[in-house]
Amino acid sequence: MKRFGRLILTVLIISTIVFLVIRVIPGDPALTIAGVDASESDIEAIRAKLGTDKPMLNQYIQWLWDVFRFDFGHSLTSGRPVSELILERFPLTLTLAVLGIVLSIIIAIPLGVISAVRRWSFWDYIGMLFSQAGMAIPSFWLGILLLMLLSIKYRVFPLFGSGSINHLILPSISLGIARAAVLLRLTRASMVEELSKEYVITARAKGLTERMVNYKHALKNALLPVITIAGIQLGYMLGGAIIIEQVFSLPGLGRLFLFAVYQRDFPLIQGGVVFVAFVFSFINFTVDILYSVLNPRIRIT
Amino acid sequence: MQKSDKNLLDINNLDISFIQARGAAHALRGIDLTIASGEILALVGESGSGKTVTSMSIMGLVPIPPARINKGSLLFKGNDLIGQPHAEMRKLRGKEIAMIFQEPAKYLNPSLKIGEQITEMLVLHLNMSKKQAVEKALEYLDVVGLGKSRRVLNSYPHELSGGMKQRVMIAMAICCNPSLLIADEPTTALDVTLQLQILKLIRNLKKQFSMGVLFISHNLGIVREIADRISVIYAGKIVESASNQNLFEDTLHPYTRALLQSIPDAEKRGHRLRAIPGSVPDAENIPSGCGFHPRCPLAQDMCSQEIPLTKDYGNGHSAACHMVH
């Protein structure tokens, strides 16, 4: 409950910052919209429509109410409601992010654990090679490479477009590999640390099998930091993956916000920032809950 | 060396070194120890003297390599544990030979409930069902003085006090009814009042279950409260062994004497505590001859040249010193 309060507070603070930033930026949006040769009454009319003729406090309350209703007005370029534009793009970004994180977890955790349990073995070297390469290779380059190989040369996956899960496989691989590299290193380091703890000696002294020592006793503790970082990575990815969306020409949130910035589409930018902030806070909130289920020491009473 | 097979544990001339990049560390230089059922043997020495290597080698938990067993035997119920396959040693650990440690807070898994940490042993070693195991765990919590508390079983280690944690560790160790209990400084991390309670508990359990106990400590004061016999270890060698009474009343080895003088004693208030000058030698460069000679007030020329043999002085009292006659 306390954490839920914190979630609400975070969103409130971010909304306030967005509100202030927009008001602080020099220039009257009504002037921008109306153009250079608009009459004074036209500008007044636009101000009234935007609500910028009212006192700041009223505007602020109106803004919070809008945020609460998830209503950010209409996009300046397309004229469609901002919320509609965002929700239209969100499923794709969500699928891409979830696929990416699932893929990276599937690679990172088993390989990281084996690397830690059998240090300096064949699998450990494979893991090290993978994480070095995964961190060094830019994801857009990997994406282009995958496209050339699997879409152009062998035609296994579609070259661009969206609409089916097949379209998302290559993007999520390109997105997932880099995250996997980070998670792999983290898993290995965390597992190595746990295996050096005293309770592992106890577990061995109790005559438990190596499997129980590793996977029941050490792994549970080793996964805690991994879950936190995976959650944060998921949060980032939910804000849209601009580069990967560009490479694969996917209509995700990243490109939506990118074009909004190009075209000074203020309502869309505002809505986007608040939305991303909300999603990120929500993921953090969920990770916190998950974390406290796994880690009895931080469970609040 | 033929000894009677009534001994539970019989360590003969055990010699272990660790091979490291900087050279070999000679951790145990041929030690002899025996423990009978229902007997508490205390192994006393400063840190770095080889106490922990001794206990870990009995458990079969000394990693080979880097460790190397040069010679010696480690007979448990007549079977040499050295060279036993890992799988066989694993079945002995926890079931036949159990161990408790210095800091229960660190030696319990922070994210598993106490109940799980006890019952997993019962399920594994004694093939109990989960339900039987819970009943058994409750019984043993009662034995160690925590009562048949389901609350304790459902607690995580951080929810218990230090004394409770050590009791839980003990319950865990004895739940499979082992013949040998190794207690590695089990009271060092506890308050003085708790220390006495835990010592009493160990002594009672020994009687109740007629276990042999290897009690490892650096503190002769505590050892005096609990041990039947005492062996003093210095730089990987047993320098003196005797019954509790003999060791304190008829001390032979100068190192033991030095240790005794360093115990704070309420009756001798006003006297200055005598610290032993110098420190325990590294296992990498143990002095020639008698390992203690650089710190020994009685040392003569021969002490730095010849390793003293262990001599028997009657009543099971033995010492290894050139200057004792």
Residue A111 to residues A12, A184, A188, B167, Cα–Cα distance (Å) = 41, 7, 8, 38
Taking alpha carbons only, the member of A15, A22, A20, A1 closest to residue A68 is: A15
Where does chain B show beta strands of DSSP type E?
A: 7-20, 23-36, 40-44, 67-76, 79-80, 97-100, 180-184, 212-217, 229-234, 237-243, 311-312, 318-319
Give residue B273's pLDDT: 66
Predicted pLDDT of residue B268: 60
Per-residue pLDDT averaged across B120-132, rounded? 90
- Residue A190: which pLDDT band, with cuts at 50, 70 and 90? very high
Listed ranges A42-56, B192-206, B225-239, B260-274; the one with the highest mean pLDDT: B225-239
- pLDDT by residue (tens digit) across B22-76? 778 888 888 889 898 889 999 998 888 888 889 999 998 888 888 888 888 888 8
User: Has residue B290 been placed in a domain?
Assistant: yes
Q: Identify the closest residue of chain A to B55 by CA–CA distance.
A: A205
Where a domain ends, among B154, B177, B200?
B177
**Domain boundary at B177, B204, B223, which?**
B177
What residues of chain A have any CB closer than 8 angstroms to a CB in chain B? Answer: 197-199, 201-209, 212, 216-217, 220-221, 294-297
Q: Given a cut of 80, is residue B1 above it in pLDDT? A: no
For residue B301, the model assigns a pLDDT of: 81
- Partners of B90 on chain A (C-beta within 8 Å) are 207-209
Percentage of chain B beyond pLDDT 70 is 95
A210: nearest CA partner in chain B: B90
Q: In chain B, which residues touch A (CB < 8 A)?
A: 59, 61, 90-95, 98-99, 101, 103, 106-113, 120-121, 124-125, 156, 158, 169, 172
Q: What is the pLDDT of residue A26?
A: 67
Cβ pair A205:B106 closer than 8 A: no
Kindly determine whether residue B120 and residue A220, on different chains, have CB atoms separated by under 8 Å: no
Q: Provide the β-strand partners of residue B33.
A: B11
Same domain for B101 and B79 = no
ipTM of the complex: 0.84
Show residues of chain B in contact with A207, CB under 8 Å: 90-95, 121, 124-125
By Cβ distance, the residue of B93, B113, B156 closest to A206 is B93
Provide the CATH number for the domain around residue B229. 3.40.50.300
Q: B313 and B226 in one domain?
A: yes
Between residues A295 and A231, which one has the greater pLDDT? A231
Is B199 domain-assigned?
no
Closest CA to A14 of A276, A289, A268: A276
| B200 within domain boundaries | no
- Do residues B73 and B112 share a domain? no
CA distance A226 to chain B (A): 16
d(CA B45, CA B259): 9
Residue range B98-109, pLDDT digits in tens: 999 888 888 999
B220-231 average pLDDT score: 89
Q: Looking at the domain assignment, is residue B271 inside a domain?
A: yes
B-chain residues near A296 (CB < 8 A): 110-111, 113, 156, 158
**How does strand B97-100 pair with strand B7-20?**
unpaired
- Tell whether B49 and B133 lie within a shared domain: no
Do the chains contact at A205 and B124, CB–CB below 8 Å? no
Cβ separation of B101 and A296 shorter than 8 Å? no
B42 and B101 share one domain: no
Cβ <8 Å between A202 and B108: yes
Question: What distance in Å separates residue A94's CA from the closest CA in chain B?
Answer: 32
Task: Reduce the secondary structure of chain A to three states and give it as a string.
Answer: CHHHHHHHHHHHHHHHHHHHHHHHCCCCHHHHHHCCCCCHHHHHHHHHHHCCCCCHHHHHHHHHHHHHHCCCCECCCCCCEHHHHHHHHHHHHHHHHHHHHHHHHHHHHHHHHHHHHCCCCHHHHHHHHHHHHHHHCCHHHHHHHHHHHHHHHCCCCCCCCCCCCHHHHHHHHHHHHHHHHHHHHHHHHHHHHHHCCHHHHHHHHCCCCHHHHHHHHHHHHHHHHHHHHHHHHHHHHHCCCHHHHHHCCCCCHHHHHHHHHHCCCHHHHHHHHHHHHHHHHHHHHHHHHHHHHHCHHHCCC
Number of folded domains that form chain B: 2
Q: Which domain does B220 fall in, by range?
A: 7-92+180-185+212-319
- Alpha helices by DSSP H, listed for B144-181, are 150-153, 162-174
Nearest chain B CA: its distance from A205 CA (Å): 6
Which tokens in the block code for residue B120? Answer: 């997993």
The predicted model gives B157-161 an average pLDDT of 89
Chain B residue with the nearest C-alpha to that of A198: B107
Query: Are B133 and B229 in the same domain?
Result: no
Helices (H) and strands (E) in chain B, counts: 11, 12
Q: Would the CB atoms of A217 and B112 count as touching at under 8 Å?
A: yes
B104 in the same domain as B77: no
Phi, psi of B183 (to 5 degrees): -115, 110
- pLDDT at position B97 over 70: yes
Q: Which CB contacts under 8 angstroms, 24+ apart, belong to A136-145?
A: A137/A177, A137/A178, A139/A174, A139/A175, A139/A177, A139/A178, A139/A243, A139/A244, A140/A174, A140/A243, A140/A244, A140/A246, A140/A247, A142/A173, A142/A174, A142/A177, A142/A178, A143/A170, A143/A171, A143/A174, A143/A244, A143/A247, A143/A248, A144/A247
- Within-domain flag for B230: yes
- Say whether both B163 and B306 belong to one domain: no
The partner residue sitting opposite B109, judged by closest CB among A199, A204, A205, is A199
Task: Give the nearest chain A residue to B172 (CA atoms).
Answer: A206
Percent of chain A at pLDDT > 90 equals: 21
CB contact under 8 A, B108 and A197: no
Which residue has 């699932």 as its token pair?
A102
Query: Cα–Cα distance between B139 and B146 in angstroms, integer?
Result: 10
Same domain, B34 and B60: yes
Question: Whose structure tokens read 């909004």?
Answer: A260
Nearest to A207 among B94, B106, B169 (CB): B94
Mean of the per-residue pLDDT values of chain B: 85
CA distance A237 to B103: 43
Same domain, B173 and B131: yes
Are A217 and B95 an interchain contact pair (Cβ–Cβ within 8 Å)?
no
Task: Tell me, yes or no, whether B202 lies in a domain.
Answer: no
Picking from A206, A217, A221, the nearest residue to B121 by CB comes out as: A206
Q: Give A202's contacts in chain B (Cβ within 8 Å).
A: 99, 101, 107-109, 169
Classify burial at A282, counting beta carbons within 10 Å of its beta carbon; exposed 0-12, middle 13-18, buried 19 or more. middle
Closest chain A residue to B173, measured at CA: A206
Contact at CB, A206 and B94, closer than 8 angstroms = yes
A21-38 tens-digit pLDDT:
877 776 666 776 667 777
Residue B265 has pLDDT above 70, yes or no: no
pLDDT digits (tens, 9 = 90+) for A95-147: 899 999 999 999 999 999 999 998 888 999 999 999 999 889 888 888 889 88
Q: Do A199 and B94 touch (CB under 8 A)?
A: no
pLDDT at A186: 94
Taking CB atoms and an 8 Å limit, are A199 and B110 in contact across chains? yes
Residues A30 and A45: their CA atoms lie apart, in Å, by: 9
Same domain, B228 and B297: yes
Q: Do B156 and A197 touch (CB under 8 A)?
A: no
Query: Is the Cβ–Cβ distance between B169 and B177 less than 8 Å?
Result: no
**Nearest chain A residue (CA) to B112:** A217
Mutate to test the interface with A, among B111, B155, B166, B170 (most CBs of A within 10 A): B111
Question: Is residue B29 classed as helix, strand or coil in its secondary structure?
Answer: strand
Structural domain includes residue B196: no
Tell me if A205 and B120 make a contact (CB, 8 A cut-off).
no
Kindly report the nearest CA distance between residue B29 and chain A, in angstroms. Answer: 24
Length of chain A: 301
Residue B276 included in any domain: yes
Closest A-chain CA to B157: A297
Work out the minimum CA distance from B110 to partner chain A, whole angstroms: 8
The pLDDT value recorded for residue B4 is 47
Residue B16, strand partner residues: B28, B69
CB spacing of B90 vs A209 below 8 angstroms: yes
Does B110 sit within 8 Å of A212, measured CB to CB? Answer: no
